Chains A and B, each alone.
Chain A
């Protein structure tokens, strides 16, 4: 039992309070808000064939919405293969896909190590599922292909403080970028695919404090919104109208399949927009 009769001193060290200036406070609470239409994605730059030594490669850059010219997400993807499997591995009637997603140590606010952490492995698994549906695996028996993605810069604005945004939602944006760039690199490497696959993210966001209503936006930036209730990342094959990977996460109000379906629909929409860029960029390589 704690001694309650004595007046104990404070347990931890105490520091006299420092009062903030009025100005500072207003500056801090100021938040970059979304200026794009809810159904518009950010501008992206995609170029294939950037790494000559690899069989296929692509580079993807997505702008931040805050300022012009400052890029948010920078991804580089290299594809090595198809190449024959090592002698020790068993026969496979299909191409063996292996995906590596790695954040550069300096990609995010919090420095990341050189070893892949569980979240990066998780991204790799998602990416693998998304791509496996797109490639025609039985065209390349007894061969393997490695897809290596480095996230050179994560989608995190230096201007925002740690309080704004949430890492977990940024992972979805990163994944959708990974899917798009990997699809471009696969096409660059000349590996047979049924369709180009692109990633898209849609989120249910809430703005405007307690009275605010939730709305669905595509390609969300977590720091632009007060809270993200739910989000989903979709890998979609536009000409076949098929989903190869779906990752939904969040807190859905009870039994509301309506909102969920709408989210998926919007995710598909975002993916279609990204796919347009992808197809155009592949066309450009010929020129």
Chain B
């Protein structure tokens, strides 16, 4: 899909874009600052038939809608003959747990992405869906929220719909919409107790949020697209910008849970830890959940022809001696586009991730902005 799709730009355009984006500071074609996102219009709880929903659109008309639906499902693998303690071991690898603690499985969440103009089984769509669900399930905490009892759980269906064919790689748009939809998701209040058949309160107003409202709780992860051109790091790239990228990364971050014992803060009082981290440094503490390279379309762009070797250049079409193939390959002529080859230096990749994770950095501000979106 977008990562592999053929971007049709002329070599002269590519050379211009690459040059403009390599400047310090870069000049982006739409005039944005390197870390600036395209302005978004967002609303939540737009679909009354769902447990949670959200809509985000760009000024160019690209629009994503996410609907979250939940169903009660019988937990597979629970049989009456299991021992109380030992039987639970099979549900999730390794992690030690106290008695009675909830646990979840990745397959309780089903995430589908639908993009008009692309086949359902398109590799790019599968890649997008895998990336989004990977971030959601990475910490293993999300699935635990769906636990009802040892015999039942919620099965969550996240359906992500792009309304218009994508004008740019839709990953950040889909991720932010999913984030808002999950924030607005509510599950009916459970009235039954223990392992009996689940029984719910039919008062929707009393239904608790999947992510309880408030500041001390975790929030769904977000996935940001970030790319590098030369020494510049650019966020939320447009299609044209991606076409000249040296490397593109999709980085998923979540907010570190302040109310649960994280690996480091174990043993500390919850409240104390909260204040500690808040007082020590501004901004939230972020967890890195996943990183993926996105195949930049720049590698399949048409190369430009330097005037020196262009037979259609010059007044007289003299048969110019073709320079040696070696010099053509090695030399980069200014103003001529050449598709990049090879990969990216490890240091560049690390810098990209670092930029996302920075305290008070981009991910932080994006989360702030998302928090400001009113639910309902």
Direct contact of A and B (CB under 8 A): yes
B-binding residues in A (CB < 8 A):
1-2, 8, 11-15, 17-18, 20, 25, 90, 92-94, 116, 118-119, 121-122, 124-126, 128-129, 132-134, 136-138, 161-166, 168, 194-195, 206, 209-210, 214, 222, 225-229, 232, 235-237, 240-257, 260-261, 264-265, 268
Asked, given contacts A251-B138, A253-B264, A257-B353, whether A14 binds B292 with beta carbons under 8 Å apart, the answer is no
What residues of chain A lie closer than 8 Å to B130, measured between beta carbons? 118-119, 122
- A–B Cβ pairs within 8 angstroms, 30 of them: A1-B191, A8-B196, A17-B81, A25-B86, A92-B300, A94-B299, A94-B339, A118-B121, A122-B126, A125-B3, A125-B124, A125-B127, A133-B299, A133-B341, A133-B343, A137-B299, A137-B341, A161-B90, A165-B93, A228-B94, A244-B344, A245-B343, A249-B291, A251-B138, A253-B264, A254-B286, A255-B359, A257-B353, A260-B288, A261-B350
Which residues of chain B have C-beta atoms less than 8 A from A122's C-beta?
A: 123, 126-127, 130
Q: Nearest residue in B to A209 (C-beta to C-beta)?
A: B96
Q: How far is the CA of A135 from the CA of B346 in the complex (A)?
A: 19
Interface residue tally for chain B (C-beta within 8 Å): 67
Per-residue interface assignment for chain B, residues 136 to 177, with 1 indicating a CB less than 8 Å from any chain A CB and 0 otherwise: 001110000000000100000000000000000000000000
Q: Residue B210 at the A interface, CB < 8 A?
A: no
Residues B90 and A246 in contact, CB atoms below 8 Å apart: no
Which single residue of chain B is at the shortest CB-CB distance from A163?
Answer: B90
Given contacts A11-B197, A243-B293, A248-B291, 11 further A-B contacts (CB under 8 A): A11-B195, A17-B81, A92-B300, A125-B126, A129-B3, A133-B342, A137-B300, A137-B339, A242-B342, A242-B343, A255-B357
Q: For the complex, is B290 an interface residue (Cβ under 8 Å from A)?
A: yes
Cβ–Cβ contact A128 & B4, under 8 A = yes
Question: B344 contacts A257, CB within 8 Å?
Answer: no
Give every chain A residue within 8 A of B262 (Cβ-Cβ): 253-254
A2 close to B196 (CB less than 8 A) = yes
Q: Which residue of A lies closest to B346 (CB)?
A: A243
Do A255 and B285 touch across chains, with their CB atoms under 8 A apart?
A: yes
A14 to B80, CA, bound (A): 5
A132 with B349, Cβ < 8 A, contacts A122-B126, A246-B249, A251-B287 known = no
Residues of chain B contacted by A252 (CB below 8 angstroms) = 287-289
B342 near A240 with CB under 8 A, answer yes
